[in-house]
Amino acid sequence: MGTDKLAVLFVASEADGLIKSGGLADVARALPESLVSLGQDVRLSIPGYSNIQGLYEAPVVLKSELDFWPHTPYQVRQLALGEVVVYAIECERYFDRPQMYAEHNQAYIDNGERFAFFSAASLDMLPKLDFKPHLIHANDWHTGLVPYLLRQRYRENPYFQGIHSVLSIHNAVFKGVFSYDELRCLPEFHTKHVPEAAVSASHVTMLKAGVMTADKIVAVSPTYAKELTTELGSHGMGREFQQRSADLVGILNGCDYQMWNPKNDTLIPTNYTDEAQSLAQGKSDCKRALQERLELPTEPHAMYGMVCRLTHQKGIQYLTPILSDFLQHDVQVVIVGTGELAMATQLRAISDQFPDKFKFIEAYDNELAHWVEAGADFFLMPSEFEPCGLNQIYSMAYGTLPIVRSVGGLKDTVNDMLLDSANATGFVFDEPEPDKLLITMLRSLLLYEQNPQWILEVQQRAMNKDFSWHNAAQHYLELYHSALAKESLYR
């Protein structure tokens, strides 16, 4: 691997510290920061949403308009996330809205145009800012058009010669499907014949455009990289990923241990380490504080936590049918999250039935998420699919044993005692069925009640796992160099 400093433009639709809706934001903050700490020049491009913290105090470094039709005017403000330079691309008609993607569960009708514009402007601004990256790293469907435009629109442009592209797949269930008519803002699509992006005679997906044109593709875990080559695992794009399999790799996301570390987490009631006494004391203090906050009886029952969006992806549909059965035991369960109304309604009904055992907090609450990670004994992630998953990694750092389904990044990060007792860090089940989840939860409860020494050992092992971004960033650097070494298929 070369030691030269690489210049990289990282393009994402959200970034923690500025604006966040999910795990993509965590990665868009931590990965560029880690690469900068490895000596690389990585800058981030995000949409200039009007509700980004501190947007209007940030200096305007460029006022321009797209060089290509429809010549949309835009301006770029420069912010910072740690050492990372951030370019926020402002365009009032697209990004001055109450939310990023949707309101009242309804996606904005012009999302295709909004993110096509963002992708186009992320490239258009580069010569004007005099920033020439070696490589552009796009993320998910919102920026899938970046690799496509790089090869299509800028193929002959000397400034863009030699710039390579990488596309990360955080979640292929979202593809950005639009009709050609909805993407009239792209002159390249006026032919209504763009095979790299087409999924039918009338529709394209932005994700496919990126998958078919990026030099390299990264899935956010090794198992997810394999799953993407199947129809089921890619949600219907198996053929495309198979076609690109020589350029598809999986790199496990990292954990930001500055934010997620029970030793110095400023959000949790008591700090603790993996030393037996500190761990026992710390977790029991945090559990009691959590019980008080949730108005649950302060009993030493096993506490199960879950923090997630309420969607099918997260496997709520496996939990709700068995939750009442499970609550017959001496246990407490807390779920924190917002999302699909039907799921929220079901959870509310169960919590009305078991007020002393089950709390459903319908909120997106970062502080409470830290409290649950610290105060629970077990953390539930029975996902239907999970490209990487971060909460199971946070849980392990807090000695809160994850109960996960063997899928995607969950499979790559959690070991079950039944398979490998000496390396156990949690509980894993296979089939996507409520009964299988119930059996696994009961297995954990039995050990909690009958073998606390074993639980302690597993907690300590989990806490000592290292999923730092530093490691992941090294893998990305290798990948970047392999992308640069590649003679692009398309140029």
Please give the residue ranges that form the binding site for ligand GLC (CB under 6 A): 22-24, 27, 170-171, 220, 253, 386-390, 409
In angstroms, give the least distance from the CB of 140 to ligand GLC: 8
SS (H, E, C) 114-161: HHHHHHHHHHHHHHHHCCCCCEEEEECHHHCHHHHHHHHCCCCCHHHC
Q: Which two tokens stand for residue 156?
A: 């002959």
In angstroms, give the least distance from the CB of 434 to ligand GLC: 21
Residue with smaller CB distance to ligand GLC, 227 or 274: 227
CA distance 164 to 302: 51
Residue with the CB atom nearest ligand GLC in the bound state: 23
CA distance 383 to 255: 19
Q: For residue 324, which of 336, 311, 333 has the smallest C-alpha distance?
A: 333
Amino acid at 353: Q
Residue with smaller CB distance to ligand GLC, 17 or 387: 387
**Segment (H or E) for 166:** strand 164-169
In angstroms, give the least distance from the CB of 329 to ligand GLC: 30
Residue with smaller CB distance to ligand GLC, 20 or 481: 20
CA distance 427 to 441: 8
Residue with smaller CB distance to ligand GLC, 301 or 314: 314
Determine if residue 20 is labeled as part of a ligand binding site. yes
- Hunting for tokens 């160099």 — which residue is that? 481
Measure CA 487 to chain center: 30
In angstroms, give the least distance from the CB of 87 to ligand GLC: 21
Beta strands in 324-414, from DSSP E residues, in sequence order: 331-336, 358-361, 378-381, 401-405
Residue with smaller CB distance to ligand GLC, 290 or 390: 390
Residue with smaller CB distance to ligand GLC, 217 or 445: 217
Beta strands in 213-311, from DSSP E residues, in sequence order: 216-219, 248-250, 302-307
Residue with smaller CB distance to ligand GLC, 20 or 184: 20
In angstroms, give the least distance from the CB of 103 to ligand GLC: 20
What's the order of all strands across the beta sheet hosting 401-405? 358-361, 331-336, 302-307, 378-381, 401-405, 427-429
In angstroms, give the least distance from the CB of 65 to ligand GLC: 33
Q: For residue 17, which of 70, 65, 64, 79 has the smallest C-alpha distance?
A: 79
In angstroms, give the least distance from the CB of 399 to ligand GLC: 21
Residue list for the binding site for ADP-alpha-D-glucose: 20
